[in-house]
C-alpha cells in the first residue's frame, strides 16, 4: 500500500509539473504583432452572409449562440465601417454553390452538411434570381459597405480557403501584404484563409470577436480556431483593440 501511495504521489507531482510547464509555454507564446502601414493593409471578411449570421440562416442552430456571445454581427459591422472611415481597402471572400457544384461525388463532413442544408446555393454563376434576401445574400446591414462600388468581392471559395478563388491575386495586385481578418466561420473559412495567407507571406491579424463557429457537444469550433490562430497568426486581437490600433497607425 505504501509503495502504491508513493507511485501515485510521484505521478501527481509529475503531472503537476507538466501541466505547469504547458501553461508556462502557452503564457510565454509571443504575439509578434503587425504594425499597420497605409497602402499595405486591408480588411478581409469571409462569408458575411445570412446563412451564417442571421437567425433566418440555415446554420443558426449551430453557430447562433457563439455569434450572439461574441457580438460577431456588430463587430464585423464595426470593421467594415472603420474601413470606409479610414480609407482601408475592404475585401469580401464569399461562399457560393452553383447547380454545377451539386453533383460532386465526395465531400468532407461539414461540406456534406452544407450541401444537405442547401447552404449558400445560388441559381447560377451569372444568375441572381432569388439572391436578394436569401441565405447566400449579405447581411442587410452590410450592404451599404459591400455595395458601395469600392469594396472588392472575390470569386467564391468552394470549400474553406482562398486557394480556389482570386482573393490572393486581388490583394497582391493592389500591393497589400498585411491583412486584418474576420468573418465566418472561425475554424473553417476564416482559419483556412488565415493559414493560406500566412503560407503566402502575408502578415495576418485575426479579430477574435468578429468571428464565430459551430459549437456541438464535444466539438467547439470556436475554441479550436482560437487555439490555432493564436499559434499561427502574427497577432490576435479583439475588435476594440484592432480599431484602436487602426486609428493610431492608419
pLDDT over threshold 80, residue 27: no
Buried b or exposed e, range 211-247, using 16+ CB within 10 angstroms: bbbbbeeeebbbeebbebbeebbbbbbebeebbebbe
pTM for the whole thing?
0.87
Dihedral of alpha carbons 99, 104, 110, 113, sign: positive
220 or 117: whose pLDDT is higher? Answer: 220
pLDDT at 126: 86
In Å, what is the CA distance from 88 to each residue of 80, 174, 209?
A: 9, 12, 20
The helix or strand, by DSSP H or E, that contains position 220, with its residue range, turns out to be strand 219-220
Share of the chain above pLDDT 70, in %: 88
**Structural domains of the chain, ranges and CATH numbers in brackets:** 34-249 (3.40.50.850)
pLDDT at 1: 44
pLDDT at 112: 76
pLDDT digits (tens, 9 = 90+) for 131-181: 999 999 999 999 999 999 999 999 999 999 999 999 999 999 999 999 999
Mean pLDDT of 187-204: 98
Residue 123's pLDDT band (boundaries 50, 70, 90)? confident
pLDDT over threshold 50, residue 81: yes
pLDDT at 2: 47
pLDDT at 10: 39
Residue 12's pLDDT band (boundaries 50, 70, 90)? very low
Any bridge partners for residue 204, and if so which? 179
Write down the residue that cell numbers 442587410 correspond to: 140
Write down the residue that cell numbers 501541466 correspond to: 19
Amino acid at each position: 500500500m505504501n509503495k502504491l501511495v508513493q507511485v501515485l504521489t510521484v505521478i501527481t507531482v509529475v503531472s503537476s509539473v507538466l501541466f505547469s510547464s504547458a501553461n508556462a509555454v502557452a503564457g510565454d507564446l509571443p504575439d509578434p504583432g503587425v504594425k499597420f502601414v497605409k497602402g499595405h493593409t486591408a480588411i478581409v471578411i469571409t462569408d458575411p452572409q445570412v446563412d451564417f449570421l442571421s437567425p433566418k440562416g440555415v446554420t443558426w442552430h449551430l453557430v447562433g449562440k457563439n455569434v450572439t456571445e461574441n457580438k460577431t454581427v456588430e463587430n464585423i459591422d464595426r470593421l467594415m465601417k472603420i474601413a470606409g472611415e479610414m480609407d482601408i481597402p475592404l475585401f469580401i471572400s464569399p461562399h457560393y454553390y452553383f447547380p454545377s457544384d451539386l453533383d460532386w461525388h465526395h465531400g468532407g463532413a461539414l461540406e456534406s452538411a452544407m450541401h444537405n442544408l442547401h447552404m449558400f446555393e445560388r441559381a447560377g454563376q451569372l444568375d441572381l434570381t432569388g439572391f436578394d434576401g436569401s441565405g447566400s445574400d449579405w447581411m442587410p446591414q452590410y450592404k451599404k459597405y459591400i455595395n458601395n462600388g469600392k469594396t472588392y468581392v472575390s470569386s467564391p471559395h468552394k470549400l474553406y480557403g482562398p486557394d480556389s478563388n482570386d482573393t490572393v491575386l486581388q490583394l497582391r495586385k493592389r500591393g497589400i501584404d498585411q491583412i486584418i481578418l474576420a468573418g465566418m466561420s472561425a475554424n473553417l473559412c476564416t482559419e483556412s484563409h488565415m493559414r493560406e495567407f500566412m503560407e503566402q507571406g502575408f502578415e495576418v491579424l485575426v479579430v477574435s470577436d468578429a468571428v464565430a463557429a459551430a459549437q456541438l457537444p464535444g466539438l467547439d469550433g470556436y475554441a479550436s480556431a482560437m487555439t490555432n490562430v493564436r499559434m499561427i497568426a502574427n497577432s490576435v486581437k479583439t475588435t476594440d483593440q484592432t480599431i484602436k490600433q487602426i486609428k493610431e497607425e492608419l
